[in-house]
Amino acid sequence: MTLTDRLGRATARVSAPVAVVDLDAFDANAADLLRRASGTPVRLASKSVRVRALVGRALDAGFTGVMAFSLAEALWLVGTGVRDVLVGYPSVDRDALARLAGDATARREITLMVDDVAQLTLLRGALEQGPSDPLSDVQVCLDVDASLRVGVGPLQVHVGTRRSPLRTPAEVGTLAARAEAVPGARLRGLMLYEAQVAGLPDTNPAVRLAKRLSVADVDDRRGDLLAAAETAVGHRLDLVNSGGTGSLETSSAGPHVTEVTAGSGLFVPGLFDGYRSFRPRPSAFFGLDVVRVPAPGWATAFGGGYPASGPGGRARLPRVATAGWALTGTEGAGEVMTPLRRRSAGQRPLRVGDRVWMRHAKAGELMERFDAVHLVRGDEVVDVVPTYRGEGKTFG
């Protein structure tokens, strides 16, 4: 029985569109991510999951802490019992900052990300309105640019994302001192996310060369950056975060790294098919039902217009998991109707009422489209759990 046959049998009585996660694959992926980190703690990137039950499942499997994608999400997670939440991106949400300042548990369990004095100014304002004698300081982490720059002057090439304005030890030391000077705040650590290593598939020799150069560059710079921050604040930092699903081996082996982050590797979406560093084992799918057959070799499914964020193009469209069928080049995935074309005459035709299975190009973004996800083991649904959206939570 094929994977899509199993999913079809498990959800035969469930109306489509339907989101599913294969627990056998999910659990195997979790174990593989922890193995690849070679004992370095792995923090869970919640944006790549967005299902609280599966966040808990990953933590139970051995992940250590959560990287939230917004402060409001972090506050909600801590309120449900999650501990040690690092907010992966700066926040200017004044309401959330005020809630953080006034909540003793949140102050203890949440670490804010900053890379600009303007963010510290907002934090200072929130803390000034908070308790006059708080039990704990708000923990702060500096996001430091980990991109690769090759060449000099006007011939310099920037490889990676334009993420943080902090790059040099001097810049890091200056902002570290400003963070430590905020009454009620304490600098906890640094994050260096090498997106050009963790977020790019191994598609060609040029990409692989850029990755090798990037790993050597960030490993060489990390110690000086950490020393500059610790000198500026006068104490040791206990958090140095790095990496992602595509770079766990190199990131966890990097000097001074105390933890790595991963999340997409639990679902293994379409954009991760080209990596050589791990075995793709997709666990998250969505099913659509065929509602018409407009011509021989064609079928039209209901729903499915779920493109991923990023630069527009076919790479951001869902992948058809049902063997022998593909999206059409002229229409792609439709807002209401998704046309499909049979790729070879030998494939079984699709009929009205058949279920077609697809994979999202990214991981957690799929769950923003559904209120619930069906958890499958073998050919049975063993549980149905709400997504963030199903719990009435959207964070951006």
The beta strand positions in 109-228, using DSSP E, are 110-114, 138-143, 148-150, 157-159, 185-192
- Going residue by residue through the chain, which has 396 residues, state the pLDDT in tens, using 9 for 90 and above: 799 999 999 999 999 999 999 999 999 999 999 999 999 999 999 999 999 999 999 999 999 999 999 999 999 999 999 999 999 999 999 999 999 999 999 999 999 999 999 999 999 999 999 887 777 899 999 999 988 777 666 767 776 778 899 999 999 999 999 999 999 999 999 999 887 776 667 677 767 777 777 778 888 999 999 999 999 999 999 999 999 998 899 999 999 999 999 999 999 999 998 787 788 899 999 999 999 999 999 999 999 999 999 998 899 999 999 999 999 999 999 999 999 999 977 778 999 999 999 999 999 999 999 999 999 999 999 999 999 999 999 998
Tell me the fold of 23-266.
TIM Barrel (3.20.20)
CA distance 42 to 122: 30
pTM over 0.85: yes
Quote the CA–CA distance of 210 and 336 in Å, as a whole number: 40
Q: Establish whether the linkage from the previous residue to 311 is cis, with ω within 30° of 0.
A: no
Tell me, yes or no, if the two domains 23-266 and 284-391 fold the same way.
Answer: no
- CA 229 to chain centroid, in Å, comes to 27
- Cα distance between residue 229 and residue 189, in whole Å: 8
Q: What is the pLDDT of residue 198?
A: 64
Which burial class, exposed, middle or buried, applies to 309 when counting CB atoms under 10 A from its CB (0-12, 13-18, 19+)? exposed
CA distance 26 to 197: 23
Q: Residue 317 in 3-state DSSP?
A: coil
Collapsed DSSP state (helix, strand, coil) of residue 274? coil
Backbone angles phi, psi at 151, to 5 degrees: 100, -175
Helix, strand, or coil (residue 286): strand
What kind of architecture, by CATH, is found in domain 284-391?
Beta Barrel (2.40)
**Cα–Cα distance list, 11 to 6, 16, 52, 53, 304 (Å):** 9, 9, 22, 20, 17
Contact indicator for 50, 263 with CB cutoff of 8 Å: no
Count of alpha carbons within 13 angstroms of residue 286, beta-carbon side = 32
Degrees, nearest 5: CA angle 336-341-345: 155
Q: Which of 288, 269, 242, 294 is nearest to 37 (CA)?
A: 242
Q: Could you identify the residue written with the tokens 């083991």? A: 377
* Segments making up each domain of the chain, as ranges: 23-266, 284-391
- Spatial CA neighbour of 83 closest among 54, 103, 47, 109: 109
